[in-house]
Chain A
């Protein structure tokens, strides 16, 4: 991550609240949370594009497929 670029992001109040909640919960800066989200999205997107599926398992061990667009 040698060269960094700066950008402005427009978020709704609800989206900003969600971002701030995650920052608080994870003790991370907004930049760090956005970076994490991008890394995860890029990886998941590529896996799904390659034919993979994403499942969430609940406490009852029941799995639900997560559809990512």
Chain B
């Protein structure tokens, strides 16, 4: 089982979740539906409180799952307690980094990344359960501990396995490239924390 670490805000502890390296379109649609039901309730409450609705509120994973009919795309997920806590859609087409420091090295292109709505403060305020799922890393570099208390995962849980993902994406066994070395993550659209 592939392990990803999540930070539970309330208890300030790190928990081990399961990283799903290749979700099926059906799993993505099911997850999107579950999130959507939660969102509808959260959105109604936000409107009653005259609070802003998150910018990505309209995201539709059912529609995004259509990309998975192409081998050029893959969706990863994180599961904890039978719930998908985050989704990340990547492109499996080889792309070279454009920044000088990554020149000539493979880059993993993140098309979409999102944390489950119950993990987002924008929907549930202080009740947001897990952090560290979506985007707070953009270079694959460690960030160490965030603040005091227990050591938190030093990268986004979905982005942490980027080296392994790159190796699979760019060829798996037999690939001569040291792919994990410079994993710049170009994030097109993201919603998560």
Contact A27 B176 (CB under 8 A): yes
Which chain A residue shows the least CB distance to B174? A29
Q: Closest Cβ of chain B: how far from A47's Cβ, in Å?
A: 10
Q: How far is the CA of A33 from the CA of B93 in the complex (A)?
A: 10
Contact A36 B93 (CB under 8 A): yes
Q: How many residues of A contact B (CB 8 A)?
A: 18
Q: How far is the CA of A28 from the CA of B95 in the complex (A)?
A: 12
Which chain B residue shows the least CB distance to A29? B174
How many interface residues does chain B have, given as a range? 10 to 19
Contact B176 A42 (CB under 8 A): no
The residue from B22, B70, B94 contacting A1, defined by CB atoms under 8 A apart = B22
Contact pattern, A 39-69, Cβ under 8 Å of B = 1, otherwise 0? 1101100100000000000000000000000
Q: B residues within 8 A CB of A23?
A: 176
Q: Closest Cβ of chain B: how far from A20's Cβ, in Å?
A: 12
Known: A28-B176, A28-B177, A46-B70. A40 touches B170 (CB 8 A): no
Docked complex: B54-95 residues within 8 A CB-CB of A: 69-72, 92-94
Which chain A residue shows the least CB distance to B71? A39
Contact A38 B71 (CB under 8 A): yes
Interface set of B (CB-CB < 8 Å, partner A): 22, 69-72, 92-94, 168, 170-172, 174-177
